Structure 1
C-alpha cells in the first residue's frame, strides 16, 4: 500500500536560521535537512508523495517551498505561512499561487503554539484572515498545545467551510502517560465536521529515549475513535521525529498502531484522507 506522508519539513541553515532549534536537547536538528536526504528514506518506507510544512514565520519561506515542490516528483503539496492578520492577506494568497509551484499551495499554518494568548485563534483579525484562507479554497493547519484546543474548536465552529487540520494530535502529554484534559478537549474539536487530525508527532511527545508503540496507543486510539479513519492522516514529522526515532521506525510504529483496522480504514489514514483534504 502506497503511503502519503502529510507532514514533513526541510531547511537549510545557510539560507535561514531556525531560531526554534535551541538548547542541547535540540542540537541534533541544528544542521541542514534537504529533500534529497528524505527521498531515499521515504521511498524505502513505501511513501509515494508528501506534503511539506512551514517551519518559520517569515514570508520568504513559502515561495521557497513552492519552488521546491515545482521540481519534485515527491512533494505533492505545500502548507506555507503568511500573516493572517495582514489587511492584504487575500491578495497575498493569490500572489503565492502565481509563483513557481503555486498550484501546489494547499494550506496555511502559523506557530500558534508560540502565541501567549490562548484565545489567539478567535481574535477578530485572525478570524478575518482565516476567512480569507477559506475563501481561497485552502486548509489551515493547527500547531497548538492542549490548552489551545478550546480556541481551535471555537474557530472551527465560526468557520464551518474552512478545514482545520490538527497537527500532532494537539501535542498530548504522552511522556507523562496522562490522557486528560487533552482527550476531552480533542474530542470536542473532533465533534466539528470540518476538523481533521494528523497521526503525527507522537514520538517526540513521548520519552525520546524509552518510548514504545504501546505508549502511543492510547493517544492514537483516542483520535481514531474521535475523528474516524476518514478524518485521520499519517505524517512523519521528519526531521523533528529523528530526535526520538528514524523515519523507518516512525512508519513501522504507525503500521503497528493501525494493524487491527480493515484494509479500507488503513488506506484512508495512510493515503486517502490526505489526498482528499489537501486535494493531492
Structure 2
C-alpha cells in the first residue's frame, strides 16, 4: 500500500488517568487488563497500523463516566494536546440547569473542543429513557447550543434511538458502536431491522467502532465483522459512516492495530471517495474538525483501495 498524506481520524477513543480520577466501571474482573492509565502518548505509540495507507492524524476523545469534572479534564487536555480535535462530554440531561452548565463548559478551558454530549443509556433500565420529558428538555438545550449527540444504546434499545431521531430532526446524532449488534450471538435480524429504521433519518450517522468487543473476544474473524459492515454500508452509505477504534476498550479483543487491519480489509473495493468519507470526511463534518487539506482529498480520491 502506497502511503498517503490523507488523514485518518479516530472518531471514538477514551483516555483515563486512574491517579487523577477513578473509573468505577473498571472494577469488573473482566476488564482487569485495561485497569490502568491510558494517555494520548499511549495511543500514539499503539496506533501504528495504517488504514488504506493513512496514519493517525487526529482523534475525538469520548467521556467514560457520568461526571462533569471528567469532561472538564478532557476539554483542558484537548486544549494542550494536538492529537485531540474534539471532545464528546457528559452533562446531566435531566437537570433543570443543563443550559447553564453547557454554557459554562463551552466558555471554560478548552470549551471550544466540546462538540457533542453522551449519556450511557445502555445502562438505563427505563425502556423510554431517551423519551423522558426532562431528558428531551436537556437534548433541546444541547441542540440549541449547536452541539451534537452521541447515542450509546444496546441493540435491544435501538427503538429509543429511532424515536429520538423522529422527535429531534434538527439535532445531529451519531450511533455509537453501530448500536452494539449481538455479533457473538450470531442473530443480527432484530438489530438490522432497527438500524434500517434509524438510517432512514438523514441527520443520523454511525460509528464503525466497538464491534470486536461485541464479538467473541478470542475467536472473532473479519467475516464476523463483515456481516455487520455490509448492513451499515448498505443502509447508511459511506458518507454517513465514520471509523472509531474504541481504544483502549478494543484491547479486550485484539487492540487498535488488529481492528485497523480489519477495517482495511472491509474497505477493500471501496472507491477513494468512499474511503475518505469513512476514515475522515464524515467525522470532520459531524464534529466540525479542521478541514482536510485539498491535496489530501485528491490523494484519497485517486484510486480504489485494494489490500
For the aligned pair, the TM-score class normalised by the smaller chain equals over 0.9
- Cα distance, 1:44 vs. partner? 5.4
Aligned partner of 2:164 in structure 1 is 155
2-structure distance, mates of 1:268, 1:44: 19
Check conservation: 1:118, 1:147, Cα contact below 8 A. Answer: no
Which runs of 5 or more residues in structure 2 are unaligned? 1-5, 290-307
Aligned partner of 1:256 in structure 2 is 265
The number of residues matched between the two structures is 280
- Cα deviation, 1:214-251, whole Å, max 9, x if unaligned, reads 11001011111111111110000000000011211111
Which is greater in Rg? 2
Normalized against structure 1, the TM-score is what?
0.98
1:134 aligns to 2:129 (yes or no): no
Aligned partner of 1:233 in structure 2 is 242
Q: Which of 135, 142, 145 is the aligned partner of 2:154?
A: 145
1:20 aligns to 2:25 (yes or no): yes
Runs of 4+ in 1 over 6 A off after TM superposition: none
Aligned partner of 2:69 in structure 1 is 60
- Cα deviation, 1:70-128, whole Å, max 9, x if unaligned, reads 01111000000000011111111111111121111110000000000121001111111
Check conservation: 2:48, 2:257, Cα contact below 8 A. Answer: no
Q: Which of 73, 88, 112 is the aligned partner of 2:121?
A: 112
2-structure distance, mates of 1:131, 1:244: 37
- Cα deviation, 1:183-236, whole Å, max 9, x if unaligned, reads 001111111111110000011001000111111001011111111111110000
Normalized against structure 2, the TM-score is what?
0.89
Aligned partner of 1:186 in structure 2 is 195
SS in 1 for 2:150: strand
Aligned partner of 1:198 in structure 2 is 207
SS in 1 for 2:126: coil
- Cα distance, 1:42 vs. partner? 3.1
Q: Alignment RMSD, CA only?
A: 1.1
1:92 aligns to 2:101 (yes or no): yes
SS in 2 for 1:73: coil
Check conservation: 2:142, 2:148, Cα contact below 8 A. Answer: yes
SS in 2 for 1:21: helix
- Cα distance, 1:43 vs. partner? 5.6
Which runs of 5 or more residues in structure 1 are unaligned? none
2-structure distance, mates of 1:141, 1:105: 12
SS in 1 for 2:47: helix
2-structure distance, mates of 1:42, 1:135: 36
SS in 2 for 1:201: coil
- Cα distance, 1:22 vs. partner? 2.9
Aligned partner of 1:7 in structure 2 is 12
- Cα distance, 1:252 vs. partner? 1.3
